Structure 1
């Protein structure tokens, strides 16, 4: 896989993590614990953003597969799933190291 392909593969992750509000959301979720889901209301209090803003950022994080959502009845719980994307990031870092030493 070429370096450009590695970048393209990791782009959704890089874009999602590049925003300070999304970084705060991920941090709040991880500090809350990976097994404990958080609702939008919980996250709005934790990161001091409006509900629409948190929902917008959660959609981007979900699209990048950094957050997953589970529905329990009428409630939606969000969980961090950053570990599933660590491989893509590690492949990019390895490709960058290789390219630098080539």
Structure 2
């Protein structure tokens, strides 16, 4: 029987990202930011996703901690933008590990 220890580790490391992408409001924020040329502020995002400003701030904090977005200051305003390169690489590595472990299982 195959040992899926590497897959377990990879999935554990990617769980936060998977949860970020699984939540509907966060997906809406990602799409909104992806459609924006220069990023969006909290007021813009709040209007687009139609939830309270504190709820938007909560989602933005989680997304920043996961590395999916970042922000820059423009005076007193914070502008949020996507930073997907590293998170997508992590997910690709996780799926590659799962694929390799599954191939080992299939050959057994």
Alignment of 1:9-88 (within 5 A): 9-33=13-37, 36-88=38-90
Larger Rg: 2
CA RMSD of aligned residues (A): 1.3
Structure 2 residue runs of 5 or longer lacking an equivalent are: none
1:100 alignment partner in structure 2: 102
Q: TM-score, normalised by structure 1?
A: 0.91
C-alpha distance in 1, partners of 2:50/2:35?
16
- 1:55-83 Cα deviation digits (max 9, x unpaired): 11001100101010111221111001112
C-alpha distance in 2, partners of 1:55/1:23?
15
C-alpha distance in 2, partners of 1:45/1:83?
27
- 1:40-66 Cα deviation digits (max 9, x unpaired): 000011111111111110011001010
